[in-house]
Structure formats: structure tokens, C-alpha cells
């Protein structure tokens, strides 16, 4: 137990742990207005905050390309978004081009993937940033753990199923242990399932739409023998998560605070830690709205 705690503490406090994130800070000067939204990088304990200056428009997503390059996207509301990159830690922003961004993909850590197409729709093609810092075509991403319900474990002892409602959405999750059935009640609606038959790990992601604060998301693992879903990351708006990596960083749906006499502004903190053990720490908070985070590989 002590060894685990020391390992987690090392993750949280290590100067080698770097988190890139998109945030808008607020200032109390001139009545408490917002500063421009920018890309930042900090250590795993929130220290050594560095602003990645960009002459581009408002950033909305940032990804690591390897461990020594950042890629970020600007102007989410436009038909085409700007794609920027910079080496790290030497900051030299470079505009790579303008792309109609359908989505970004946090796949294997350090591989930034940008889906090209109509926003919110399936991507028509995919781009990545290579070692030279150039925007290049790439194959469509493949999640090796992507799965669909029902799932049956290799020994056929356990199964995870769901009913389908009139809208075609999975509901009424049930874990089956032989002839016994155990209803599961996660928060939100099922969005995706990941399953590794080699390790028998099963991850369940659910979501609840919220037009005011931003969508709410939950990540669970299936405890087959305990007949429950174990929460791993709760009530987040965006998270950098990969099943084979313990480290995660995420932000939450907006809350609102008063700033100055007459202003109410949205805020959201940044968290970093170990999803497996649940040892997670709030590393950026206060008068700041964090909307996207990415862990350095």
C-alpha cells in the first residue's frame, strides 16, 4: 500500500509529468474580464505554468505529438479550423493549415489524430502531425479495445448485456454471473464500451447532455466478481484516458462564480492523477475555465 501511494505521489509531483491544456483565465482588473483563451503547459502538480503563445484564433483542443511537440486547433465555430504546432519545450508556433474539423481523437498517447469533415459527423478522412511537424494524411483510427454489447468473458462465466429502447439506445444494463443477474445503474446513457479479452478489463463510458454546463461524462470499469460498475473518472467534460496508461487528466462541466460586482463567469478546474487507484489531484483551479487537457506521453 505504501509503495502504491509513493508511486502515485511521484506521478502527481514529478517534473517529468507535463499536462497541456486549453484554458481561459480571468482577471479582477477592469471589472473582472476574461483573458484570451490560450494553450498552457504545467507540471503534474500544477507548477511551472507556461503559456504557449499563439498568433492564431481561439484554441479549443490540444494534443501531444510524441513527447516533444504540441498540436492545437483554433476557431471551433468556423467551417475550417486552424491547425497549429510547436516543438516543446522550445516554443515556436507554426500554422500548418486550415481544416474542416469533424473531431479530434485521443488514441494511443502521443499520436494526434484530426478527423476531417462536417463537425459532429463521421470523419471523411484523417490527418496527423509527423515527426517533422508537418500535417499529413493517415489511416482512420482503430481502437483495439472497442466492443459492443453483449460481452461474454472468455470463460463464459460472466456477461454484460443491455436492452434497446424505442430510440435505439442501450438501457437497463445487466451483469450476468452464471444463472444470476445483477442490474447495473450507471449515470447517463451508454456511449461506448472497451473490452480487453486478454486481461478481462471492460470500460464503460456514459454521458448526459447539458446545453448549459457542457455534457457530463462518466468512466466505469466492470467489477465482474463484485457485480458492480466501479467509477473511475466521474462527471467530466473531457478526459485524456488510455486503458494501458494509469495517468489521466481531465476537466469538468462548467460551474459559475461571481467575479467582481456584477459578473458571473464559467469556471472548470484541471485534474491530474491515476485513474486506476483513484489518486487524483486538482492542479489548476480558481478563476479559470479549463476545457481540454492532454497528458505528455
Give SS3 for 225.
coil
User: Could you tell me which residues come within 8 angstroms of residue 288 by beta carbon, excluding any fewer than 6 positions away?
Assistant: 23, 24, 25, 26, 267, 268, 269
> pLDDT value at position 4?
43
pTM for the structure as a whole: 0.90
Would you give per-residue pLDDT tens digits along the chain (297 residues)? 444 444 445 554 556 799 999 999 987 655 556 678 999 999 999 999 999 976 668 999 999 999 999 999 998 887 899 999 999 999 999 999 999 988 887 668 899 999 999 887 889 999 999 989 999 999 988 888 999 999 999 999 999 999 888 777 787 899 999 999 999 999 999 989 999 999 999 999 999 999 999 999 999 999 999 999 999 999 999 999 999 999 999 999 999 998 877 788 899 999 999 999 999 999 999 999 999 999 999
Q: Do 194 and 202 form a contact (C-beta atoms < 8 A)?
A: yes
> Measuring CA to CA, which residue among 93, 89, 101, 102 is closest to residue 133?
93
> pLDDT value at position 5?
46
148, exposed or middle or buried, with CB in 10 Å at 0-12, 13-18, 19+? exposed
139/57 Cα distance (integer angstroms) = 28
Give SS3 for 193.
strand
> pLDDT value at position 121?
81
User: Could you tell me which residues come within 8 angstroms of residue 259 by beta carbon, excluding any fewer than 6 positions away?
Assistant: 26, 28, 32, 265, 287
Q: So where are the chain's domains?
A: 1-141+243-297, 146-234
Amino acid at each position: 500500500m505504501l509503495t502504491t501511494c509513493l508511486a502515485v505521489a511521484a506521478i502527481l509531483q514529478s517534473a517529468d509529468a507535463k499536462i497541456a491544456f486549453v484554458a481561459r483565465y480571468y482577471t479582477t482588473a477592469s471589472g473582472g474580464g476574461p483573458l484570451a483563451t490560450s494553450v498552457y503547459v504545467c507540471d503534474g502538480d500544477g507548477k511551472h505554468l507556461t503559456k504557449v503563445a499563439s498568433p492564431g484564433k481561439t484554441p479549443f483542443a490540444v494534443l501531444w505529438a510524441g513527447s516533444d511537440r504540441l498540436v492545437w486547433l483554433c476557431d471551433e465555430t468556423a467551417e475550417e479550423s486552424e491547425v497549429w504546432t510547436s516543438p516543446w519545450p522550445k516554443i515556436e508556433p507554426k500554422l500548418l493549415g486550415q481544416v474542416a474539423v469533424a473531431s479530434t481523437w485521443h488514441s494511443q498517447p502521443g499520436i494526434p489524430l484530426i478527423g476531417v469533415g462536417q463537425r459532429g459527423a463521421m470523419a471523411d478522412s484523417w490527418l496527423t502531425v509527423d515527426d517533422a511537424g508537418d500535417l499529413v494524411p493517415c489511416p482512420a483510427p482503430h481502437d483495439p479495445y472497442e466492443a459492443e454489447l453483449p460481452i461474454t468473458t472468455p470463460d463464459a462465466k460472466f456477461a454484460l448485456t443491455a436492452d434497446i429502447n424505442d430510440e435505439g439506445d442501450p438501457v437497463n444494463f445487466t451483469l450476468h454471473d452464471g444463472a444470476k443477474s445483477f442490474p447495473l445503474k450507471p449515470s447517463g446513457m451508454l456511449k461506448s464500451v472497451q473490452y480487453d479479452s486478454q486481461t478481462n478489463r471492460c470500460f464503460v463510458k456514459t454521458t448526459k447532455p447539458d446545453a448549459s454546463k457542457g455534457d457530463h461524462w462518466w468512466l466505469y470499469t466492470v467489477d465482474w466478481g463484485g457485480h458492480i460498475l466501479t467509477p473511475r473518472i466521474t462527471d467530466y467534460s473531457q478526459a485524456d484516458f488510455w486503458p494501458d496508461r494509469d495517468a489521466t487528466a481531465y476537466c469538468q462541466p462548467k460551474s459559475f462564480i461571481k467575479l467582481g460586482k456584477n459578473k458571473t463567469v464559467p469556471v472548470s478546474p484541471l485534474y491530474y492523477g491515476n485513474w486506476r487507484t483513484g489518486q487524483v489531484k486538482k492542479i489548476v483551479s480558481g478563476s479559470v475555465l479549463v476545457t481540454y487537457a492532454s497528458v505528455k506521453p
